[in-house]
Chains A and B, each alone.
Chain A
Amino acid sequence: MVNLKMRDLTVFAADIRKQLLIELRNFGFGHLGGSMSIVELLAVLYGSELKHNPKEPNWSERDFLILSKGHAGPAWYAALALEGYFPIEELLTLNKPYTNLPSHPDRLKTIGVDMTSGSLGQGPSVAAGLCEGFKLQNKDNYVYVVVGDGELNEGQPWEAFQYIASRNLNHCIVFIDENKKQLDGTTDEIVKSFDFVNKMRAFGFNSFRVDGKHTQTILEGIRKAKGFSQKPTCIVLETIKGQGVKHFEDIVLNHVVRFNNDDVKATDEALVELDSIIYGGKE
């Protein structure tokens, strides 16, 4: 729960990305695209904005994070490990028998994970319930919920959004990871998103768009959201599926990556670059 400076958030993001790549390459395949696109967001949340304490995971004053797009679990695990919730080496147990790190988050298995997800579309409703509970208890915990742009094809999140705004649950902050892709292709090819900012405004939210590729813009966005006390906020993050490693960004269908020789090579190269950010002090 240290407040890191900007520079450190960039380094933290590099570290999360590094651990994520090692984790997925070690297992051999996984939901790479959507994991990579939330790395910067995780760095800002865990490095600065999320009230939490790895030494006391059940601290009653903590903020809650719900990763509604549960398939990005491996990125979350990397951030939690780096924050000290469990040893870094445990990342290598991803998806192995009896692991605490299953492909999709499980609140009964992973320390630091407050809610289970994987069947898309259910997170925002749970966030609404948490906010209602905290409100009844006169508490000011924030509830952050991360949804995918494809995930918003589902109807349930929209039921939740309307409810959250209607009940003025202003401690709810929704992030839409707008990487413009879902599983079978782009959102434009499958189901068009139209304009999330306008849609969320019409649903009663404060809503704006920020560059989700940089920690600074995300940080500013969250601080701005916390300044609004009248309404809940939705931050649309402009991201790239596979974000941060050109080779993976360029793979058209990069929802799940099965590491072939090229992918392993690209990962090795990326790790060298990430290490130079982490240890070398250059960007």
Chain B
Amino acid sequence: MMFIRHDTSMCVMGSENYGDLLLEIMGKYTNIVALDADLVSAAGARKAWKTFPKRFFNVGIAESNMMGVAAGLSMTGYIPYVHSFAAFATRRAYDQIYLSCAYAKNNVKIFASDGGFNIGINGGTHTSYEDMGMMRLLPDLIVSEPCDTTQMRWAMNEIYSQYGVHYTRVFRRPVRDIYKSGSNFMFGKGNVIKNGNDATIIACGSMVYEAILASDYLAEKGIQVCVIDMFTLKPIDSELINEIASRCKIIITAENHNVIGGLGSAVAEVLAESGFGTILRRVGNKDRFGQVGSVEFLQKEYAMMSEDIVKLIQSLINK
């Protein structure tokens, strides 16, 4: 069975990326400082850099140094918005994030682009399917992955007003709109995008759109699938997960990340402790390294398309 990809009218292509929103928010709050490790151009943040040169620190290719500099800036009252690719922002700076930022209770905001398959042509060496898992292991961090510009804009503003270390996946190439502009969210609260009782897809980031496509397709086949945008991985919304588990037999998680350590793990932890006996299946990277290819190729190769979600749900329901 082939699942034909179709466009939902609400999901048109957005036009803004991390760099655009950084420019906007730096204009709004004068105590935000931006840091980057020689990926300003990649982040689309050259305009922010040129507009606020004094508050913008391009520290060079030195991610661990950058996290320490951010910690120091935070101690003088600034709010550092730090960017690199997800692989470098985490793997190359883990102990600095741990000690200088988190353990020392500094106020550092990490924004990581090109997570998972979004790395595309930069290939396996630059790929990060483990960043959110790594960040989820650190106490007190707020870990999230917005799915569209509206949610990313909300997150970048909300983060400003909350003290502590936030790790947020962002995108540097525009993505499809999921939410109406101006929508409000809450860290730690999942959003019910569609209702349905036959199965539930709990998704985050790039996979939210795929979940909606899967649910639309299944609705035509008479299967009603609930879609949750669980954009905060930590703290996870266990209340919502338990509420769903109490009435829905099948839960699928969908994440652009290793199924170990990320959203799938977070949901599994909640379900295991709640004991509802729900069936859980995780869509995501099944513990493989990345490789080179276009974003579209990688998404297919690692079985993270709406088709993969559809097949999984159908196989579970037909049992």
Contact = CB atoms under 8 A, between A and B. Distances in A.
Given A97-B297, A183-B41, A104 B122 contact: yes
Contacts of B88: 119
A105 to B, nearest CB: 8
- Which of B37, B59, B60, B122 has its CB near the most chain A CB atoms (within 10 A)? B60
A104 B123 contact: yes
B91 interface: yes
A132 to B, nearest CB: 24
B197 to A, nearest CB: 39
B60 A182 contact: yes
Contacts of A119: 87-88, 91-92, 125-126
Contact of A155 (B58, B65, B91): B65
A102 B62 contact: no
Contacts of B121: 29, 95, 103
Interface string A5-49: 000000000000000000000000100000000000000000000
Interface in B45-64: 46, 58-62, 64
A190 B38 contact: yes
Interface stretch (A54-62, A146-154, A220-228, A267-275): A146-154
Contacts of A70: 125
B298 to A, nearest CB: 9
Nearest to B45: A184
A151 B61 contact: yes
Interface residues of B, number: 30
A102 B40 contact: no
B60 A102 contact: no
Question: What secondary structure prevails in chain A residues at the interface with B?
Answer: loop
B270 interface: no
A116 B62 contact: no
Given A104-B123, A120-B61, A183 B91 contact: no
Contact of B60 (A96, A118, A153): A153
B87 A184 contact: no
A179 interface: no
B72 interface: no
Interface in B242-293: 291-293
B124 interface: yes
B137 to A, nearest CB: 21
B39 interface: yes
Nearest to B61: A153
Contact of A150 (B46, B61, B126, B292): B61
Interface string B294-307: 00010001000000
Most A CB contacts (10 A, CB to CB) among B87, B88, B293 go to B293
Interface string B112-124: 0000000001111
For B38, B42, B124, the residue with the greatest tally of chain A CB atoms inside 10 Å of its CB is B38
Given A119-B125, A120-B61, 16 more contacts: A95-B292, A97-B293, A99-B292, A102-B123, A103-B122, A103-B123, A104-B125, A116-B125, A119-B88, A119-B92, A151-B61, A153-B62, A155-B64, A182-B38, A184-B41, A255-B41
